[in-house]
Amino acid sequence: MPTQKFHYIDDIFCCHEVPLETIAEQAGTPSYVYSGDAIRENYRAYDRALAGLEHDIHYAVKANSSLGILSLLAEEGAGFDIVSGGELYRVLKAGGDPSRVVFSGVGKTSEELRYALEQEIGRFNCESDGELRLLRELAAQIGRKPEVSLRVNPDIDAETHPYIATGLREHKFGIGLAEAERIYRQAAELHPLRLNGIGCHIGSQIFNIGAFAEALQRVLELAGRLRGFGVPIEALDLGGGLGVEYETGKQSPSIADYGRMLCAALAGANFRLGIEPGRSIVGQAGVLLTRVLYRKAGEGKVFAIVDAAMNDLIRPALYRAHHEVLPVRRSGRPVELTDVVGPVCESGDFLAKGRAMPRAEPGDLLAIATTGAYGFVLSSNYNSRPRAAEALVEGGSVRIVRRREIWEDLIRGEVVCVQA
Ligand SMILES: *Cc1c(COP(=O)(O)O)cnc(C)c1O
């Protein structure tokens, strides 16, 4: 089962002990449902796996930025990896500690950099010479001495979907190793920036722990050379990217094994290690709950038309991603090959294709599994569809952590133009 903390009890699909039918009554459909317990356990698994090292776990906010989830992770003691000013705003609203925030991303604006400097975040992961110069100027203006890492591009093939691979020379991310070395050796000129860290992030949905090991090796070589030149490198950041199981049987790499690799590679090296996991903390901890509107049997095709669509979950359309589809109430109905599709006016609007599943009838509830990461955050109002509600289950209690949007939300900030 690719989900965590979701299971059948007497043929009813439940989150912990709570039937998803009960959640559908409370929250309506479509709704994202998250297991708070699973999210906490995944975070703690990382913390345990790195217990042998001085470490910081910066949850990658872009995977799921709901305040409900951020606040739960802040309570666990997590730091946060952000990629925009808006994400920093969310982290602060959720009670996150700014000194435990790292700011990544290739295109930070001066407005965003200034806001992050004012909030005294923990570290900037800079990705270009231009960004360094701008940050230096702003830091000098407002009298701050931020800690800075360069995000280097270690030129590693992460063997993942091309849209989410980021660690090759041809990608827009990071700075090449040779160029980075040149910048570090002139670090003194970057005062008041404290350039004392090296970061990288080679991609997402990575199953091969060896790719991380190789990236770390290249970063360690650079750090060693720089220390030799007297550049005081203290912090290393290996980014995020550990994959999760979307298809039953394609077992995720274990967080414990990943931690063992890191502890072995860094034993005695005297660096503080940061990691930025997103998907592997929240991905398997969420499902998208949707109701069947119609069953339409075409020529040799059966469609289950549901009330969730590509605007709610774009991963199938964008990456041809696979998500398991589970009936919330198991039945003895005959199995048929079914396309699960939404109401949006595009043929790309599908959640699953050609799945052998018990005949879906109008009114049935379905759970689209492993949608806790890159689900709601990528949703839109396309076709003027209000965005879904989000429910967080902790123990036996369910909280709606985001109300479903209403039509007024759709037009907020807009004006009507009428000819005079
Ligand atoms: C997206 C991203 C992450 C998180 O990646 P996951 O695959 O969700 O773990 C971490 N760091 C950076 C810089 C990112 O862009």
Residue 346 lies in a domain: yes
Residue 396 lies in a domain: yes
Q: Within this chain, do residues 375 and 230 fall inside the same structural domain, yes or no?
A: no
> Is residue 101 within 8 Å of residue 58, measured between CB atoms?
yes
Residue 264 lies in a domain: yes
Q: Within this chain, do residues 259 and 305 fall inside the same structural domain, yes or no?
A: no
Residue 368 φ then ψ, to 5°? -90, 115
When the pLDDT of each residue in the chain is averaged and rounded to a whole number, the result is: 95
Q: Within this chain, do residues 250 and 321 fall inside the same structural domain, yes or no?
A: no
Give CA–CA dist 110/142, Å, rounded: 13
Question: What tokens appear for 70 in the block?
Answer: 């951020």
Give CA–CA dist 166/80, Å, rounded: 20
Higher-scoring residue by pLDDT: 163, 214: 214
The answer to whether residue 165 scores a pLDDT higher than 80 is no
Q: What is the pTM of this model?
A: 0.96
Question: What tokens appear for 383 in the block?
Answer: 């076709």
Write down which residue in 233, 254, 277 finishes a domain: 277
Please tell me whether residue 341 adopts helix, strand or coil conformation. Answer: strand
The answer to whether residue 192 scores a pLDDT higher than 80 is yes
Q: Within this chain, do residues 108 and 244 fall inside the same structural domain, yes or no?
A: yes
Residue 168: band (very low, low, confident or very high) from pLDDT cuts 50, 70, 90: confident
Q: Within this chain, do residues 267 and 295 fall inside the same structural domain, yes or no?
A: no
Active-site positions read 345
Alpha carbon of 63 to ligand 1 centroid (Å): 8
Alpha carbon of 402 to ligand 1 centroid (Å): 24
Asked if omega into 386 is within 30° of 0 (cis), the reply is no
Residue 92 lies in a domain: yes
| Per-residue pLDDT, 188 | 86
> Is residue 215 within 8 Å of residue 238, measured between CB atoms?
yes
Q: Within this chain, do residues 300 and 273 fall inside the same structural domain, yes or no?
A: no
| Per-residue pLDDT, 170 | 75
Question: What tokens appear for 128 in the block?
Answer: 């270009």
Mutate to test the pocket of ligand 1, among 104, 164, 172 (most ligand atoms within 8 A of CB): 104
For ligand 1, what atom is nearest to the CA of residue 373? 8
| Per-residue pLDDT, 199 | 96
Write down which residue in 238, 262, 277 finishes a domain: 277
> Is residue 14 within 8 Å of residue 20, measured between CB atoms?
yes
Question: Tens digits of per-residue pLDDT, 38-59?
Answer: 999 999 999 999 999 999 999 9
Question: Tens digits of per-residue pLDDT, 82-133?
Answer: 999 999 999 999 999 999 999 999 999 999 999 999 999 999 999 999 999 9
Residue 362 lies in a domain: yes
Angle at Cα 326 formed by Cα 325 and Cα 331, nearest 5°?
Answer: 135
For ligand 1, what atom is nearest to the CA of residue 105? 13
Residue 399 φ then ψ, to 5°? -125, 135
Residue 171: band (very low, low, confident or very high) from pLDDT cuts 50, 70, 90: confident
- The parent domain of residue 331 ranges over 6-34+283-410
Query: To the nearest 10°, the Cα dihedral for 165, 84, 51, 257?
Result: -20
Q: Within this chain, do residues 325 and 246 fall inside the same structural domain, yes or no?
A: no
Q: Within this chain, do residues 264 and 317 fall inside the same structural domain, yes or no?
A: no
Residue 297: band (very low, low, confident or very high) from pLDDT cuts 50, 70, 90: very high
Q: Which residues line ligand 1 (CB under 6 A)?
A: 60, 62-63, 81, 83, 104, 201, 204, 239-241, 276-280, 373
Residue 294 lies in a domain: yes
Asked if omega into 192 is within 30° of 0 (cis), the reply is yes
Residue 158 lies in a domain: yes
| Per-residue pLDDT, 166 | 75
Question: Tens digits of per-residue pLDDT, 241-256?
Answer: 999 999 988 889 999 9
Mean pLDDT value of segment 319-326: 96
Residue 356: band (very low, low, confident or very high) from pLDDT cuts 50, 70, 90: very high
Question: What tokens appear for 81 in the block?
Answer: 């990896």
Q: Within this chain, do residues 157 and 263 fall inside the same structural domain, yes or no?
A: yes
Give CA–CA dist 97/405, Å, rounded: 29
Number of separate domains in the chain: 2
Alpha carbon of 53 to ligand 1 centroid (Å): 21
